[in-house]
A and B are shown apart, each in its own frame.
Chain A
Amino acid sequence: AQSVAQPEDQVNVAEGNPLTVKCTYSVSGNPYLFWYVQYPNRGLQFLLKYITGDNLVKGSYGFEAEFNKSQTSFHLKKPSALVSDSALYFCAVDSGGYQKVTFGTGTKLQVIP
C-alpha cells in the first residue's frame, strides 16, 4: 500500500518570505513523487515531479521540491512567496510508476500581502 501525508491543513506566509509545504510518503517500491496545485474553480495543475536523479527538483512558477529518502519526505518550497501562489497544494505518490497515483489531503497556502 502507498500513502501520502500532508500534516498541515493550512500554511500562512507573508508575501516575499520563503514558503514550505510539507509532504511525507510511504511506498513499498521506488517512489514517483508529484506536486499539483488547484486554484479556485480550476482543475489540478502539475507543478513538478521526482522520478530519479537529483534530489532537488525544479518546477513551474519558481517552485522546487527536495526528495529526502531517509526521511521519506518531499517538501515543496519557494524562496519568495507571491500572493498569486495562494491555492490548494496536493502531494502525490506512485509506487514504481505503476500509474496508480495516491494524493494527499491537500494543504491550503495563504500568502498574505
Chain B
Amino acid sequence: GAGVSQSPRYKVAKRGQDVALRCDPISGHVSLFWYQQALGQGPEFLTYFQNEAQLDKSGLPSDRFFAERPEGSVSTLKIQRTQQEDSAVYLCASSRGGRGTSGISSYNEQFFGPGTRLTVL
C-alpha cells in the first residue's frame, strides 16, 4: 500500500525566500507529525496534528514556521524568510491512533516519509 509521501524531495532556496513543504500521510491516519533532522542528528519534533487540529506546536523554532492540515489529511509546512540555519531534512510521519485514544494498544508507531532536504543558500 501507499506510504507517506513528501514533496518536493529536494528544495534549494535563497535566503529570505518562502518555502512550502507538502506531506501526504497514509490514508485514514489520525495523527501527523513534522520533524526537523539536522545532519548527524536525530529528528527533532516540530509540531503535531490530530486530524485537522494542531495540538502541539511547541517545537516550531520561530514564528517564521507555520504548519496546517486544513482537512485532516494533507499537511503543509511553510517557512517564511528562510535562513541558512533552516537547512535540514524535514520529515513527516503519520500514525493511526491519536492522543487520548482509549486503550494502550491503540497507540501506534509512526510511519515516516522520505523527507524533504532543504538547502538555504
Q: Encode B65-108 as 1/0 by CB contact (under 8 A) with A.
A: 00000000000000000000000000101010011000011010
| Residue pair B42, A104 in contact (C-beta under 8 Å) | yes
Known A-B contacts A32-B107, A52-B104, A100-B56; A43 and B41 likewise in contact (beta carbons under 8 Å)? no
Known A-B contacts A99-B31, A99-B98, A99-B99; A45 and B42 likewise in contact (beta carbons under 8 Å)? no
Which of A44, A99, A101, A102 is most buried by chain B, counting CB atoms within 10 A of its CB? A99
| Residue pair B107, A103 in contact (C-beta under 8 Å) | no
Known A-B contacts A43-B91, A44-B91; A100 and B45 likewise in contact (beta carbons under 8 Å)? yes
Number of CB contacts from chain A to chain B under 8 A = 61
| A54-103 interface (Cβ within 8 A of B) | 90, 92, 97-103
| Residue pair A99, B48 in contact (C-beta under 8 Å) | yes
| Residue pair A103, B114 in contact (C-beta under 8 Å) | no
Alpha-carbon distance A90/B103, docked complex (angstroms)? 26
Q: A residues touching B (Cβ–Cβ < 8 Å)? A: 4, 32, 34, 36, 42-46, 49, 51-52, 90, 92, 97-106
